[in-house]
Amino acid sequence: MSTPVVLDPMTLPSDDNVNPYTFCVELKGSSWFLQRGKMIAYYGSIDFQGIGHGRLDRLVRTSFHSPLHASDWVVAEGSGKMLLADRAFDVNSFDLDEGNLTIRSGNLLAFQPTLALKQSIVPGFLTLIGTGKFVAASNGPVEFLEPPIRVDPQALVGWADCPSPCHHYDHGYMTGVMGGLRQLTGLGGASGEEHQFEFVGAGTVLLQSSEALMPEQATGATPQQAGVPGGGAAGQGGQGAPRLPGQLGDLQRRFGL
Amino acid sequence: MAQFRLQSSKVLAVSLTGDGVKAKNGSMVAYDGQMAFKKMSGGGEGIRGMVTRRLTGEQMTVMEVKGHGTCFFADRASEINLVQLHNDTLYVESSNLLCTDGGLRTGTSFTGLRGASQGNGLFTTTVEGSGQAAIMSDGPAVVLRVSPQYPLNVDPGAYIAHQGRVSQSFQSGVNFRTLIGEGSGESFQIRFEGDGLVYVQPSERNTVGGEV
């Protein structure tokens, strides 16, 4: 019989993985930001506060109206060891050193307050800037790859120090009448891999080893402004004529007209 | 006495030499040798157990497996954790219990508010005696020791089982902020004090307290 390892505050690792699915954070009077409901257990005395409820934060909250998804985040403060986990997904910690990293919002679990969390201009992504440690969840272990690379949209977890993520479509597949028909109907064999994200430049791309996406976490609304991606109706206005009911989406463009 | 071992992290192998084990109904995936499977009503606790389980909502359908050879058990690819009991009591949710040695007694006990916060009802299953048992978790369980100087707080959704002499109390951090929808998401916790082990899974069930 294999006896399970029994852990106590002495034997729990400090800021490291307990097993591939559980991460242990040691707090020594410091604080960590974590996503709501990802703490599974803790030793010691730790307080969990919704963001904007501290002594100073309250002031910040009342005078600072950013579109920050504040209500999804919790500040853990105190001393002790706490365990983080997310739906039995793989969790990993990463260190940033004067760097930046953009990550899918559902994958980020926790981060040190020395990092600044910002909403990315890519909808559904968050950017961390600064120096510190953060914990991210992924479906299967994370792979680190160097650009130039094209990745499947569902497998992408995030990218670091990396410029220019853009869409890439397989050209032959997408153009012409046949391409349009295939795209619309799926007849003639859609491999499901006609569309990728392309990365070039120096940096690292983080991939998960599965195409199962994590439920997205609300990143907060983008400002309703022209020129802001995902900024709602105001962002799309101005270009081209409004779509007519009979126009069937982008059909005419797909057929190469 | 039945020998339990893990064939893999998700398959339990039990070697039997004429003795029996109790296992979750329908969890056998393979066996070699001679085996007899018999469904036990009321968790094998007789008429009294049948009634209690019906009343408490801690229903479990259990089968008795007897024979010579090796029997393999698995359930929905859940991770399996072995528990060794030495004249000890294991408290586990009936849905997390896979298999127990035939010599162990199972029963129900009142858990109070903790159960209510988990959405699992007010009662839990107890396994008493000496021998081995296997419990299931979503992701490999982490076993945490509770000692008098180190009490432990656990999220109700991640709790699966505990053993030993520990007292549990329900902690609620509900305050006016929770009421205005600004809660921390960690308002409900179970605090374990005393001497024993607590099994925690790296995943959270949906609980009543989870959204608060």
B91 vs A58, residue with greater confidence: B91
Say whether pLDDT at A189 is over 60. Answer: no
* pLDDT band, very low/low/confident/very high, at B208 (cuts 50, 70, 90): very low
DSSP assignment letter at A245: G
Closest Cα in chain B to A18 = B142
Enter the tokens of residue A32.
Answer: 């960590």
Q: Do A85 and B140 touch (CB under 8 A)?
A: no
Say whether pLDDT at A40 is over 80. Answer: yes
Residue A86's pLDDT is: 87
Q: Does B81 touch chain A if contact means CB atoms closer than 8 Å? A: yes
Residue A59's pLDDT is: 43
SS3 A147: coil
C-alpha distance from A241 to closest chain B C-alpha (Å): 43
Nearest CB among A2, A40, A87 relative to B6 is that of A2
Those of residues 5-24 in B touching chain A at CB distance below 8 A are: 5-6
C-alpha distance from A90 to closest chain B C-alpha (Å): 10
Of B20, B159, B80, B105, the closest CA to residue A2 belongs to B80
Closest Cα in chain A to B5 = A1
**How far is CA A201 from its chain centroid?**
21
Enter the tokens of residue B101.
Answer: 């040695």
Those of residues 141-170 in A touching chain B at CB distance below 8 A are: none
Q: Does B65 touch chain A if contact means CB atoms closer than 8 Å? A: no
Mean pLDDT of A164-186: 65
**Between vectors from CA B10 to CA B102 and to CA B6, what angle results, nearest 5°?**
55
Q: Which residues on chain B are in Cβ contact (under 8 Å) with A2?
A: 5-6, 82
- Listed by start position, the domains of chain B span 3-211
Q: pLDDT tens, B129-164?
A: 999 999 999 889 999 999 998 999 998 888 889 998
SS3 B57: coil
Q: How many CB atoms lie under 10 A from the CB of residue B182?
A: 17
Q: What is the Cβ-side half-sphere exposure of residue B200, based on CA atoms within 13 angstroms?
A: 37
* One-letter identity of residue A165: P
Q: What is the Cβ-side half-sphere exposure of residue A223, based on CA atoms within 13 angstroms?
A: 9
Strands B97-101 and B11-24: antiparallel
Residue A24's pLDDT is: 93
Residue B115's pLDDT is: 52
* Burial class (CB within 10 angstroms; exposed 0-12, middle 13-18, buried 19+) of B124: buried
This complex has an ipTM of 0.79
Q: Does A79 touch chain B if contact means CB atoms closer than 8 Å? A: no
Say whether pLDDT at B120 is over 70. Answer: no
| Backbone φ and ψ of B116, nearest 5° | -65, -35
Q: Which residues on chain A are in Cβ contact (under 8 Å) with B201?
A: 40, 85, 88
* One-letter identity of residue A35: Q
Nearest CB among A1, A43, A52 relative to B152 is that of A43
Closest Cα in chain A to B131 = A1
Of A136, A118, A134, the closest CA to residue A126 belongs to A118
Mean pLDDT of A70-81: 79
Whole-angstrom distance, CA of residue A107 vs CA of residue A214: 7
Q: pLDDT tens, A98-155?
A: 888 888 888 888 888 888 887 778 877 888 888 889 999 888 888 888 888 888 888 8
C-alpha distance from B157 to closest chain A C-alpha (Å): 8
Domains of chain A: 12-138 (3.60.160.10), 140-210 (no CATH)
C-alpha distance from A165 to closest chain B C-alpha (Å): 32
Long-range contacts of A249-257 (CB under 8 A, 24+ apart): A251/A180, A251/A184, A254/A174, A254/A179, A254/A180, A254/A183, A254/A184, A255/A176, A255/A177, A255/A180, A256/A175, A256/A176, A256/A177, A256/A180
Q: pLDDT tens, A202-211?
A: 888 888 887 7
- Superfamily of the domain at B3-211: Mitochondrial biogenesis AIM24 (3.60.160.10)
